[in-house]
Structure 1
Amino acid sequence: MAKDARLTRVTHVLVHMAGHGGLAASDRIAEMLGTNPVVVRRMMGLLRNAGLVRSTAGARGGWQLTRELRDITLLEVHRALQSSVFSIDAGTMAAPCKVERAANEAIAGALDTGRQAFENALANITLDDVRAATSL
C-alpha cells in the first residue's frame, strides 16, 4: 500500500508560497512537486474548502494563503487534506467470533489513542515552526 505524503508535500508548498510573495500558480506548484496541475488543484481545493487558501483566476492568478504561517497548524492542513494516519483497519465490531470482536476492539482503541496523540502533536506545530527550521 502506498504511503500518503500529501501532508508533507502540501506543508512544503505552503511554506514556499509564503516565502515567494504568497501567490503560486497550479503549474508552478506541480513543477515543485513533480506532479500534474490537476492533482495540485485537487489538493489545493481541499485547502480552499477549509479556508486555508484562496484562488484567483486568470493569467496573474494562483493560490494564496488566507492567513499568516504562524496562524496555520499542521493539524488544520492534515484535516483539510482528509488524510488518514493509519492504513490499519480494526475490522468490524459485529464479527461473529468473540475473539475477533475482542481483537478488533483492542486494535480500534490503540488506533484511536495513536491518532489522538498524532493530532495533538500536529496541533502544536505551525507552518511558521516549519519555516523557522529552514533558512527561508
Structure 2
Amino acid sequence: MKRDSRLSGVLHLLLHMAEHAAPVTSETLARAMQTNPVVIRRMMSGLREQGYVRSGKGHGGGWQLAMPLENITLRDIYTALGSPTLLAMGNRTESPGCLVEQAVNAALDQTFQQAEALLLARLGEVTLAALSTDFHQRLVEHGHPHLLEHPHGS
C-alpha cells in the first residue's frame, strides 16, 4: 500500500516558504520538491481556502504564508488537506456475518479510534513554529545553507 505523504510534503513546503519574505513561485517549489508545479498548486489550494497561505499571479507573484507559524498546527494542515486516512490498517470485512470476525472488528475499531484520537491530539499540539525552530537548530549544527532553489531529498 502506498503511503499518503501529502502532509509531510506540504509541511516541507511551508517551512521553506517561511524562510523567504518574498512570494515563492510554484515552479521554484516544484524544483525543490522534484515534482510538477501543478502538483504544488493542487496541494496548496486547500491551504489557501483555509487562509494559511495566499497566492499572487504575474510578475512577483507566488505563494506566501498568510499567518504566523505559531498560529498553524500540524492538525490544521492535515485538515486543510482533506483529513487523509491516518492508519493503513483496517478490518478484513466491514459487515461480517461471522461472530468471531464481529468480535475482532469490535476490538480493532475501538483500538483504531483511540490511536487516531491520540495522533490527532498530538498533531494539534505541534505548531509550524516548533518545526521551524527544529529546522534552524539543525541548520546551525550542520552548517548547511538554506537553498530552496536546488532540488533536494526529503
- In structure 2, how many angstroms separate the alpha carbons of the residues matched to 1:57 and 1:38? 14
- In structure 1, how many angstroms separate the alpha carbons of the residues matched to 2:22 and 2:134? 19
- In structure 1, how many angstroms separate the alpha carbons of the residues matched to 2:116 and 2:50? 20
Aligned-partner SS, 1:24? coil
Shift in CA distance, 79/22, structure 1 to aligned 2, threshold 3 Å: farther
* Counterpart position of 1:4: 4
Q: CA deviation at 1:49?
A: 2.1
Gaps (5+ residues) in structure 1? none
Q: Normalising by structure 2, report the TM-score.
A: 0.81
Query: After superposition, where does 1:18-57 map in structure 2 within 5 Å?
Result: 18-21=18-21, 23-57=23-57
Runs of 4+ residues deviating >6 angstroms: none
Does the alignment pair 1:133 with 2:116?
Answer: no
Shift in CA distance, 22/104, structure 1 to aligned 2, threshold 3 Å: farther
Q: Normalising by structure 1, report the TM-score.
A: 0.91
Q: CA deviation at 1:16?
A: 1.3
Say whether the 8 Å CA contact 1:73–1:122 is kept in structure 2: yes
Say whether the 8 Å CA contact 1:92–1:101 is kept in structure 2: no
The amino acid across from 2:132 in the alignment is: R
Deviations 1:37-83 (A, max 9, x none): 11111100121122211221212211121110111001101111122
Q: Looking at CA atoms only, which structure, 1 or 2, has the larger radius of gyration?
A: 2
The amino acid across from 2:17 in the alignment is: M
Question: How many residue pairs were aligned?
Answer: 136
Say whether the 8 Å CA contact 2:17–2:64 is kept in structure 1: yes
Deviations 1:69-110 (A, max 9, x none): 111001101111122211122355532112112212211111
Aligned-partner SS, 2:51? coil
* TM-align CA RMSD: 1.6
Does the alignment pair 1:85 with 2:91?
Answer: no
